[in-house]
Structures are given as C-alpha cells and as structure tokens.
Amino acid sequence: MSERPSPPRPASPRPSLPRPASGTLAIFAGPCIPLSALGLPLVVYLPEFYVSTVGLSLSAVGAAFLLVRLIDIAFDPFVGGMMDRTRTRLGRFRPWMLAGMPVVGVGAFALFMGKPGVTPLYLWAWLLVTYAGYSMCVLSHTAWGGVLSSDYQQRSRVYGWWQGGNVVGMILVLCLPPLMVALTKGDHTAGIRAMGWFIVALLPITVLLAVKVVGEPAAPVARHAAGIKQYLALLTRPSVRRLLAADLLMGVAPGIAGALFLFFFERIKHFDKAQAGILLLVYFLAALAGAPIWPVLAKRVGKHGAMAIGGVLYAIVQFAAVLTPPGNTAVGMIVLVLAGLPYTAAPMLVRSMMADIGDEERLASGVDRTGLLYAIVTGTLKLGYALAIGVFPVLAWLGFDPKAPTPSGETALTVLYAVVPAAMGLLVAAIMLRYPLNATRVAEIQRQLAARDAAADAAQPAAQPSPNAAFSAPAE
C-alpha cells in the first residue's frame, strides 16, 4: 500500500522575537517624520496650493489627486508581492525603502516648487513619480514594523512609536509656513517651498540611519507565489474584510476633513491662513499627546475595542466643530485638541492588527505574506484619501466657489467637513465591535504556530541550519 504524501511543510518557523528597545523603535520611527511631512501636504496643503496659488482649476486638481491615487493603489500588490519574494542580506523590506528614498526626494522637490503657469500635465507627472516612491517607502516601512515583534501587545507598542513619528513629522511641517512668514516676511508660498526642502533634506538621513541600526528577522528561505491572485485571496478573510472596511472609513473621514480644513476654517469660521495653520498645529500636538493612550487602552479592552472607542470619540468631536463660534480661537483650539486625541488610534491599531492577521494567515497556509498584507492596508489608506480628495468635484457640484461665497456652497462645505466624517466614525465603531481576532484568539493562533514550528524544527536534519538563524535583532 503506497504511503500517503505528507502535507506541505510550513515555509518558515518564526522564533519568539526579543522586545525591541525604546531607542531602537525611536530610530525605526525616524523615517516617518519626512514621510508624514510629505503625506500631510499632499492632502491638506498642495491641493489648495495648486488651486489658489498655481492657478489650476478646482476640478483639474481634484481629478489629478484622485486618479493618480487610484492608479497608485494598483502599484501596491505588485510591490508587496515583490517584497515577499525579496531575499537580500538586508532582508525583505529595507532594500525597498532604500530604493524608494531618491524617488520620493525628486518627486517631492518638483511638487513643492511648482509655479504659476505650470500645466495639469506637470501636476499629473510629478504626482505619479512621488506616489511611486512614497508607496515603496511607506509599504516597506510598515511591513518591516510588522516583523519586529511577535507579541500581541508589543505590536501596538511598535506602531505606537511609528505613529508618534508620523505625528512629529506633521507637527514640524505645520510649523514651517508661520515660521517662514515670521523669519523672512514671506508669504504662504515660501512656507510651501520650505516644506519641500524639509522633506528632501531629512528623508535620506532618517532612512539610512534606520536601515543601519534597526535589524530585520531573516525571511523564509522558501519563496512562494505572491501576486494579484494571492492579494485578492487575502481579501476573502473575514478579519481582513472587517479591518479594511474600518480602515477605509478612517482614511476617508479624516481625509475629507483634512482636504477641506483650510476652506472650512477660513470661509465658515473666519480665520485667516495663519490662524488656521495654528489650529491645525494644535490638532496634531493633541494627536501626539494622545498617542500613548491607545496602546494602554488596547491592553484593557483589546485593539478592536480601543478602535471602536476612537471611532465614537472622533464622531463626537468632529461634529462639535460645527458649533465652534466664528473667529473664536480659544474655543477652536479646545475643539481641535479633543479632535486630535483619537487621530492616532486607527493608523496604529490597524497596522498592529494586520500583524495579528499575518499569524492567522501563516497558520492557515504555512506562508508568510507580510508584504501583501501591508500592501492591502496601504492600498486601503490610499483609496480612502483618494476618495477624500474626490470631495472637491462634489463640493464644486454642490455650488461651492472658492472665490465667491454662496449659501448653498457654505452649507455643503459644513456638511462635508463635519457631518459626513462623523457618521463614518460611528460606522467604524459598529464594525469593530464584531471583529473576530481578539487577544485570546491571537494567543491560541500563536500557540498552534509554536507547536507546528517546533515539530518542523524537530523533523529538520541537524546539519541544516534554521532559516531564522541569521535573525538580526534590533540594536539595543
């Protein structure tokens, strides 16, 4: 009687990883500063800059940012699959970050130095270049964070530092326009130029330091298929679908609010650009102060519970912006402090939960699909912001004119800025209440993985080194 063939062996046993030191995580988070310093203006400042200063039409700018974002989303499965198949001495993810760094620098320089008279084609071309490099850097960085710890709670800590770096970058880049006005008596354009120089100068320093200092576990020796078919297959997982739905909503909601922020506080609340910039800075200072809250809350109620609470809080304070008295800076600051507290919840918790889903997928298939999983979450974030930028054509269709106030236009601006994002926050809370991967379930998945990996190691010939023997622990 013939012997039944044995099932496929898991691609790689993964050891229990050491707890990353705080200094290591601070260096790891360093590239978030210039990357978020680019990401924020791409949503808040550059669309308005290309309309009000460069002179392109509202519809042309909205279409460029929307369609380039949608094109860029198709890039993520390709890059994520390539990362999962990459095998170098630096690992899977760090080489891609190094490769994306100069692409981001060149594209960002061109975008921030745009002058009146440039055509929509100029905007399209440099948005494509910038987003290609930005995708490579952000996707490789977030996927790299997903393999720095195998612990349910430590993953929240890793992404807590990651999100802290993002908020620091936003705060610093927000300081540049008022600082340039104060130092050089320049105008708003001088602040935009300063943002570009900040990104171009800081990105290579932080990326090279992180790549040199922070380690990366060795990738599985066995290569496996990692393309659009596998990408789409991951979308069939209930945990992935729920997480992506919540992540999409939490990308669209603040994306809409961010895109309309300057218009709302200038037109509806009667602040000038400098005052609105200060309010936005207060918002991100509050977000930085609120960042440590969410890992602590996740320990008490689980990551999904913490995210549900964040969604409800976001909805309440976003709607409260409507009640802010026009021109009252003190009340405006209080509202934006409260609005900033939940800002870090979704980005940090979603990426931490995606690492848990990576364990679930590895148990089910025996394959490590970290790159593709983070391509999914990065793609969802981009789709959210693309749809958010698409609010410009909707706003124009509803009668809003950036130069001539109309009652219908101002009503549309208020509803789109405050009411629609608030409703999305409540939907996030409802979705997260039924999320299946809590701490108990993840612990059971990891117990089964450990048992299977131990059996695989025992069956391995003694002379054959473990594929994870070359694990380079993060520097202490």
| pLDDT digits 0-9 by tens, 248-289 | 888 788 888 887 888 888 888 878 777 777 787 888 888 888
What the chain holds in terms of domains, given with CATH numbers, is 22-214+225-449 (1.20.1250.20)
- Taking each helix axis as running N to C, give the angle between helix 238-263 and helix 45-52, from 0 to 180 degrees, rounded to the nearest 10: 40
Q: Using alpha carbons, select from 318, 306, 339 the residue that is nearest to residue 433.
A: 306
Vertex 121: Cα angle to 267 and 198 (nearest 5): 65
DSSP state of 93: S
The terminus-to-terminus CA distance of the chain in angstroms comes to 56
Please determine, for residue 471, whether its predicted confidence score (pLDDT) is greater than 50. Answer: no
Q: What is the pLDDT of residue 4?
A: 42
Average pLDDT score over residue span 179-206:
86
- Give the whole-angstrom CA distance, residue 268 versus residue 413: 8
Cα 447 from Cα 348, distance rounded (Å): 25
Q: pTM of this prediction?
A: 0.71
d(C-alpha 81, C-alpha 373), whole Å:
9
pLDDT digits (tens, 9 = 90+) for 307-352: 999 999 999 988 888 877 777 777 878 888 888 888 888 888 988 8
Torsion angles phi and psi, residue 15, rounded to 5 = -75, 165
Res. 460 pLDDT band, cuts 50 70 90: low
Distances (CA, A) of 317 to 108, 256, 382, 419: 33, 15, 24, 11
Give per-residue pLDDT as tens, 106-146.
999 999 999 888 999 999 999 999 999 998 999 899 989 98
